[in-house]
Amino acid sequence: MPLLISRNDITQVQADAIVNAANPQLAMGGGVCGAIFRAAGPAKLQAACDKLAPIQVGQAVITDGFDLKAKYIIHTAGPIYKEGNTVQEQQLYDCYYNSLRLASEKRLETIAFPLISSGIYGYPPEDALKVAQRAIHDFLGDYEGDMTVYLIVYDSSAFKTAQSMYGEVESYINESQVDTDYRIRRSLRELFNRKSAGKTNASLERCVEEEVSAEITDHDLAERLEDSFSTLLFKMIRRKQMTNAEVYKNANLDRRLFSKIISNKDYSPRKNTVFALAISLKLNLEETQELLRSAGYAISHSSKADLIIEYYILHQENKYYNIDDLNFLLFQHKQVQLGQID
């Protein structure tokens, strides 16, 4: 049940439901609201909304999607931002939580949100994003069903922390891949020289394959056999003094998947799941590599996604970790985001 970031026209999203950042009168407005009305069929949607209006700020109601690709539209009224207003954060939180609750009652599996109140209602995008993340993760962390939530973004203004890293990440990827290319060419050259001398052996060929892919050594293999993945994960959770709920929520993972991982010593998670748990636990690079080894993986400098994650971990200093910011970096580089179904 992940929260994933997407850049799209919300009226074109193929989801079970899209969310309309509505006004309390549920009248056709401007911005995203107006676009949704026009795409759904203004007269039909307005007639349906009139039967439900007015609503309170933070409340959510549901109508058919009419001419949209989405089957339903969930309408929620966000707060108009006023500096010093002490209730608006809770109202914005309620917009997301109540929308998700409606979706769960309909047993919907996919829902797409805009960043509510961050447009003409003036809520600072970075603050609006934090509220959205908290509400969505809180709901998904306790939800028993299957649901994927998409947050539709049009620019990077809400992801200031991640955006500030973009240029540095690009340089890190380029430098690391150049270094990897050199090491691969060196290994291939050694293999060629061995073949020329009639001394080729299977271990050298395996060394080249590992250099290109997982980069796991025999020493790494021996180390990772000491603890199963689930055993090591349990030890790390205890060491970090975190609850299981904190771990799977911060990792953008389904509670049932987490339970399966932690209780089954023979379970083999995907590499992205291991990375997600490392971010949740705020592991440094050495600890992350240890956790990866226990599941049979290693950070590969031939993988752009691995390099992005490595850079992010190196620059957190065990302080600020946010999987949604990291996912935004992965999203910008067209890489698979963390927390998708294992």
Q: So what's the pLDDT on residue 266?
A: 86
Q: In the structure, what pLDDT confidence band is assigned to residue 204 with cuts at 50, 70 and 90?
A: very low
Q: So what's the pLDDT on residue 187?
A: 52
Q: What is the pLDDT of residues 243-267, one digit of tens each?
A: 999 999 899 988 888 999 988 888 8
Q: What is the pLDDT of residues 321-340, one digit of tens each?
A: 889 889 988 988 889 999 86
Section 114-131 average pLDDT: 90
Say if CB 2 and CB 109 are below 8 A apart: no
Q: What is the pLDDT of residues 153-173, one digit of tens each?
A: 866 565 655 556 566 677 677
DSSP 8-state code for residue 108: -
Domain ranges within the chain, ordered by starting residue: 3-152, 161-171+219-332
Percent of the chain topping pLDDT 70: 79
Report how far residue 330's alpha carbon sits from residue 115's, in angstroms, rounded to the nearest whole number: 19
Q: Which residues contact 22 (CB under 8 A, 6 or more apart)?
A: 29, 33, 49, 55, 75, 76, 77
Q: So what's the pLDDT on residue 203?
A: 45
Q: What is the pLDDT of residues 13-71, one digit of tens each?
A: 999 999 999 999 999 988 889 999 999 999 999 999 999 999 999 999 999 999 999 99
Q: In the structure, what pLDDT confidence band is assigned to residue 276 with cuts at 50, 70 and 90?
A: very high
- Which residues is 57 bridged to in the sheet? 77
| Radius of gyration over every alpha carbon of the chain, rounded to an integer in angstroms | 24
Report how far residue 81's alpha carbon sits from residue 255's, in angstroms, rounded to the nearest whole number: 34
φ and ψ of 159, to 5 deg: -105, 60
Helix axes 42-50, 31-40, angle to 10 degrees: 110
Of 112, 156, 147, 126, the C-alpha closest to 331 is 156
- Which residues is 111 bridged to in the sheet? 17, 149
Of 174, 180, 175, the C-alpha closest to 215 is 180
Helix axes 285-294, 304-314, angle to 10 degrees: 140
Domain 3-152 has CATH 2.30.30.40: no
Report how far residue 257's alpha carbon sits from residue 43's, in angstroms, rounded to the nearest whole number: 44
Exposed/middle/buried for 23, CB within 10 Å: 0-12, 13-18, 19+? buried
Of 62, 72, 64, 77, the C-alpha closest to 27 is 77
Report how far residue 132's alpha carbon sits from residue 263's, in angstroms, rounded to the nearest whole number: 31
DSSP 8-state code for residue 78: P
- Which residues is 20 bridged to in the sheet? 75
Token pair in block for residue 85: 């207003």
Say if CB 188 and CB 194 are below 8 A apart: no
Report how far residue 202's alpha carbon sits from residue 179's, in angstroms, rounded to the nearest whole number: 25
Average pLDDT, the chain: 84
pLDDT tops 60 at residue 5: yes
